[in-house]
């Protein structure tokens, strides 16, 4: 496969996307996958806390900053990007998880949770599985109990092992 497999973890705001990703990561990495995560922020995020050196550089008008140590680095640039540009930054990854992206063609897990959402908002043809505790069924879509990160990770592992296609 020339590119990493890409899967979105989608749902409405506060549906538990971040929590599910955090809980799936140990399962995915234990299976030997090198996983990257890309999160879309609908607001203007602060790339560094105010008062840090790199935060001060950006506040003073720097177009970009970089910080590194012996095992990791971070680059911040003032330019537009979409998920495809960011996916290209991780060519060595086996799997890239996108947080959000509910209205895209990316294959996805969708979280639907009582008290937060009552129905799926994603195109069913893009769903690998529905993660929910609601009595919600979609034809041809696997249902995983909400909170079962191991089962959700297994859906992704099965998709990767079956040669998951790069779709955008």
DSSP the chain: --S-EEEEEEESTTSSHHHHHHHHHHHHHHTT--EEEEE--SS---SS-TTSHHHHHHHTT-SEEEEE-SS-EEEEESS---HHHHHTT-TT-SEEEEE--TTSSS-EEEEE-TTT-SS--S-GGGEEEEEESSS---TT-EEE-TT-HHHHHHHHHHHHHTT-----
When pLDDT is averaged across residues 132-154 and rounded to a whole number, the result is: 94
When pLDDT is averaged across residues 112-137 and rounded to a whole number, the result is: 92
Q: What pLDDT band is residue 115 in, cutting at 50, 70 and 90?
A: confident
pLDDT value at 167 more than 80: no
User: Which residue would you say has higher pLDDT here, 3 or 147?
Assistant: 147
pLDDT value at 149 more than 90: yes
Name residue 132's beta-bridge partners. 112
- What is residue 91's predicted lDDT score, i.e. its pLDDT? 93
When pLDDT is averaged across residues 158-162 and rounded to a whole number, the result is: 92
When pLDDT is averaged across residues 57-70 and rounded to a whole number, the result is: 92
As a whole number, the mean pLDDT across the chain is 91
Q: What pLDDT band is residue 166 in, cutting at 50, 70 and 90?
A: very low
- What is residue 44's predicted lDDT score, i.e. its pLDDT? 74
Q: What pLDDT band is residue 45 in, cutting at 50, 70 and 90?
A: confident
When pLDDT is averaged across residues 113-125 and rounded to a whole number, the result is: 91
Cα–Cα distance, 12 to 33 (Å, whole number): 27
């Amino acid at each position: 496969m020339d590119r990493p497999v890409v899967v979105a973890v989608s749902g409405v705001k506060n549906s538990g996307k971040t929590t599910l990703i955090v809980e799936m990561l140990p399962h995915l990495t234990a299976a030997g996958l090198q996983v990257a995560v890309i999160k879309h922020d609908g607001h203007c995020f602060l790339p560094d806390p105010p008062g840090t050196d790199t935060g001060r550089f950006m506040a003073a008008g720097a177009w970009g900053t970089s910080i590194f140590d012996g095992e990791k680095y971070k680059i911040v640039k003032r330019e537009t990007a979409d998920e495809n540009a960011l996916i290209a930054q991780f060519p060595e990854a086996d799997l890239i998880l996108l947080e959000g992206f509910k209205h895209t063609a990316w294959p996805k897990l969708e979280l639907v949770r009582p008290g937060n959402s009552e129905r799926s908002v994603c195109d069913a043809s893009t769903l690998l599985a529905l993660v929910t505790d609601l009595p919600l069924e979609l034809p041809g879509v696997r249902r995983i109990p909400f909170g079962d990160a191991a089962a959700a990770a297994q859906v992704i592992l099965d998709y990767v092992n079956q040669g998951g296609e790069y779709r955008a």
